[in-house]
């Protein structure tokens, strides 16, 4: 993907004047990514901020007992590893980024992006707003794991996925990610068997169904009642 097209696909960059976009082309680096490739591991040096051009990237964190918790899935046009920006020297990434689809990604080294933001402070405000939203989502994920039972955590996960990746269709809210029961469990630390049992209950209640690998939510209010 040409750098100019990538810049126009990133909301925080797309509205910049052409002169500033041209400046960005000199500090952006791009690379292809293949399914299963790890872009960086948890505790690797945090030296760059990343952007998804094409494909999807899973951000996950390890728990003390060895389980993997999925914090988010980044799609085309979205930023990740933003915690690297303005961090202290020798800081590390707090999570692992793994490609779950073939595609390509771009990244900007911390020093280069920080210099650019100091020159264009209005862009920094947009970035900080995005950071705030990402922090809220991460805290919500950890809250689901800590406070809810497995059924409530599953319901909270489905509601959050609907908010982030859902589209309204005649069949209900379609979550535009193909997720296995094991994938769902990784959002809140449950086994595939547990999720299968819980999903069967939701299916029997006609709250959620699965078609061609995609989840459809037919009654999101019922899911929210399980959370409350």
Least confident of 3-7, 80-84, 166-170: 3-7
What's the rounded Cα separation, in Å, for the pair 137 and 74? 12
Task: Say if residue 1's pLDDT is above 60.
Answer: no
Contact 56, 35 (CB under 8 A): no
**Going from the N-terminus, what domains does the chain have, and what CATH number goes with each?**
3-146 (2.60.120.10), 148-227 (1.10.10.10)
pLDDT in tens, 153-173: 899 899 989 998 999 999 999
Asked if residues 26 and 129 have their Cβ atoms less than 8 Å apart, the reply is no
Global confidence as pTM: 0.77
What are the Cα distances from residue 111, in Å, to 9, 49, 84, 91, 127? Answer: 23, 10, 10, 13, 16
Average pLDDT for 48-70: 87
What pLDDT was estimated at residue 109?
Answer: 93
* Higher pLDDT, residue 3 or 17: 17
Residue 68 in contact with residue 190, Cβ under 8 Å? no
Q: Which helix (H) or strand (E) holds 227?
A: helix 220-227
pLDDT tens, residue by residue, 165-199: 999 999 999 999 989 998 898 888 788 999 999 99
**What is the separation of C-alpha 157 from the centre of its chain, rounded to a whole number of angstroms?**
13
């Amino acid at each position: 993907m040409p750098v100019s097209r990538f810049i126009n696909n990133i909301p925080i960059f797309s509205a910049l004047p052409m002169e500033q976009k041209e400046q960005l082309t000199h500090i952006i680096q791009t690379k292809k990514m293949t399914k299963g490739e790890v872009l960086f591991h948890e505790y690797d040096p945090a030296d760059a901020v990343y952007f998804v051009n094409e494909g999807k990237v899973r951000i996950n964190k390890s728990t003390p007992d060895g389980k993997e918790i999925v914090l988010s899935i980044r799609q085309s046009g979205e930023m990740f590893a933003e915690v690297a920006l303005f961090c202290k020297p020798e800081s590390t990434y707090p999570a692992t980024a793994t490609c779950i689809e073939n595609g390509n990604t771009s990244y900007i080294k911390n020093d280069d992006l920080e210099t650019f933001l100091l020159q264009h402070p209005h862009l920094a405000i947009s970035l900080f707003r995005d950071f705030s939203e990402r922090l809220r989502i991460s805290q919500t994920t950890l809250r689901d794991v800590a406070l809810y039972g497995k059924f409530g955590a599953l319901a909270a996960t489905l509601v959050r996925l609907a908010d982030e990746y859902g589209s309204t269709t005649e069949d209900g809210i379609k979550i535009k990610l193909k997720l296995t029961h094991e994938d769902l469990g990784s959002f809140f630390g449950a086994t595939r068997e547990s999720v299968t049992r819980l999903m069967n209950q939701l299916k029997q209640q006609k709250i959620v169904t699965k078609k061609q690998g995609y989840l459809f939510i037919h009654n999101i209010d019922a899911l929210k009642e399980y959370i409350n």
